[in-house]
Amino acid sequence: MPVASRSPYGMPGFELPPPHTAGKPPIIKNEAKRRALWVEHVLQDVLPQQCAHRMAVFTVPKCIRPTLMRNRSLLGLVSRTAYERTQRFLSAQLPACKGRCFFVASIQLWGSAVNMHPHIHAIVSLALKARGGALHPLPEDLDFSPLAEDFRRATLRALRRREAISRHLADKVLSWDHHGGFSVDASVKVPPGDREGLERVAAYVLRPPVSLSRLTYRSGSRTVIYQTPHTPLTNANFVTLDAKAFIVRLLVLVPQRYQSLIRYYGAASSTWRRGPPARPFVAEVEPMAPLPDGPPPAPQRKRRSWARLIKRVYGVDPLRCSRCGSPMEIIAFITQDDVIERILRHLNRWDPPTRPCLKSHTSIATAYEDLPGYEKIFEPP
């Protein structure tokens, strides 16, 4: 089985902003900063480091995907169902334990070809946390294949209760072989204590829908060529789309307002995180150390400075001298524009940003006035 050993920036769909050029300080874009902050939050405040983890991917059949995209609230229902079935599956491995697993779900709306493909990426801990804070480990080679059938039946029941699908469609999907288009892939493993591997998996589940390194635009024909993994059905590793059709695909993938695509369940939820912190495995502590009196001490949150974010994203320490390698300290902040310009001109580093003139709103509306309406997006070709 594959192990999370590759860099997140080399994984499919994960885009790293280009490194800074010589003589210019690195700048973290909002998207890269958001990913770095979220990964750091998950590793420090949510997931335990002393147990193994799996990245589980929950998918649904094609006949149900348009329903989920029309009613985005159903995506939360599917995510919740994936957690409940996983919690039930893991609890069956330790019947005497009444703990919860760590389950961080990322709702993804796109596939590798920027197509409509709602599914769930989840980071699942192979341990159950009790209310007292003790961790109960699970086998690292646990087989998740029996979870697919349970996930299929539970999801169909939940959609039927919401009257999102008909009974005829539910019975038809249940009659199909191979779990009726539902699948649970938990082949990516993160060994215990592998902080770098867990960081790569966390960065991957928050990847953007489009990677600019895979995108090629031909202005003459107004077509977009997007590189994808090899598809046996088409025997190709790319898709060719009209520029307007590509824009429509991107518009469909825009999350709705106030829609949360990251969900925390079980021991990863805020309710459980307020309790005692995770302690070592029960098998490693004999006898169990008594809990201290009084409320548990609040965890010390590490300050997330811009220098640490730059080092995490680009691998460059901005507070270390590039000539001698000695650490540097900030002695002053200069915010006056004229002073900044004089200093940079003296150092021959003045490079004012230039932006191209934007076209008028009228010309932009005229260029895309023949885009298909939203109601036609889900219609079959």
pLDDT in tens, 166-217: 999 999 999 988 777 899 999 999 999 898 899 999 988 888 888 888 888 8
Structure token digits, residue 251? 């518009």
Of the pLDDT bands very low, low, confident and very high (cuts 50, 70, 90), residue 373 is very low
Q: Which percentage of the chain shows pLDDT scores above 70? A: 75
pLDDT of the residue at 187: 92
pLDDT of the residue at 208: 84
pTM of the model: 0.71
pLDDT of the residue at 356: 55
Compare 259 and 126 and report the one with higher pLDDT: 126
Centre a 10 Å sphere on the Cβ of residue 121 and count the other Cβ atoms it contains: 20
Of the pLDDT bands very low, low, confident and very high (cuts 50, 70, 90), residue 232 is confident
Centre a 10 Å sphere on the Cβ of residue 124 and count the other Cβ atoms it contains: 30
Please calculate the CA angle 1-156-205 and round it to the nearest 5 degrees.
Answer: 40
Q: Which percentage of the chain shows pLDDT scores above 90? A: 32
Query: Roughly what angle, to the nearest 10 degrees, separates helices 30-41 and 306-314?
Result: 100
Compare 91 and 367 and report the one with higher pLDDT: 91
Query: Mean pLDDT across the stretch 248-260?
Result: 85
Query: Mean pLDDT across the stretch 93-113?
Result: 90
Query: Mean pLDDT across the stretch 315-340?
Result: 83
pLDDT of the residue at 360: 45
Sign of CA dihedral 54, 312, 316, 299: negative
Q: Is the Cβ–Cβ distance between 223 and 242 less than 8 Å?
A: yes
Centre a 10 Å sphere on the Cβ of residue 342 and count the other Cβ atoms it contains: 12
pLDDT of the residue at 158: 95
- Any idea which residue has 């390194």 for tokens? 213
Q: Which residues contact 191 (CB under 8 A, 6 or more apart)?
A: 3, 52, 140, 197
pLDDT of the residue at 103: 96
Which residue type, as a one-letter code, is found at position 260? Answer: S
Q: What is the mean pLDDT of the chain?
A: 78
Q: Is the Cβ–Cβ distance between 149 and 115 less than 8 Å?
A: no
Q: Determine which of 88-92, 335-339, 355-359 has the lowest per-residue pLDDT on average.
A: 355-359
Measured between alpha carbons, how far is 176 from 148 in angstroms, rounded to an integer?
Answer: 13
Q: Write out pLDDT tens, residues 286-314.
A: 444 444 555 555 555 555 566 777 776 66
3 state SS for the chain: CCECCCCHHHCCCCCCCCCCCCCCCCCCCHHHHHHHHHHHHHHHHHCCCCCCEEEEEEECCCCCHHHHHHCCHHHHHHHHHHHHHHHHHHHHHCCCCCCEEEEEEEEEEECCCCCEEEEEEEEEEEEEECCCCEEEECCCCCCCCCHHHHHHHHHHHHHHHCCCCCHHHHHHHHHCCHHHHCEEEEEEEECCCCHHHHHHHHHHHCCCCCCHHHEEEECCCCEEEEEEEEECCCCEEEEEEEHHHHHHHHHHCCCCCCCCCEEEEECCCHHHHCCCCCEEEHHHCCCCCCCCCCCCCCCCCCCCCHHHHHHHHHCCCCCECCCCCCECCCCCCCCCHHHHHHHHHHCCCCCCCCCCCCCCHHHHHHHCCCCCCHHHCCCCC
pLDDT of the residue at 28: 47
Instruction: Say yes or no to pLDDT of 34 above 90.
Output: no
Of the pLDDT bands very low, low, confident and very high (cuts 50, 70, 90), residue 150 is very high
pLDDT of the residue at 12: 36
pLDDT of the residue at 116: 87
Q: Spell out the domain ranges in the chain.
A: 8-209+255-310, 320-367
- Any idea which residue has 């600019």 for tokens? 212
Query: Mean pLDDT across the stretch 275-291?
Result: 54
Measured between alpha carbons, how far is 139 from 120 in angstroms, rounded to an integer?
Answer: 23
Of the pLDDT bands very low, low, confident and very high (cuts 50, 70, 90), residue 366 is very low
Instruction: Say yes or no to pLDDT of 371 above 70.
Output: no
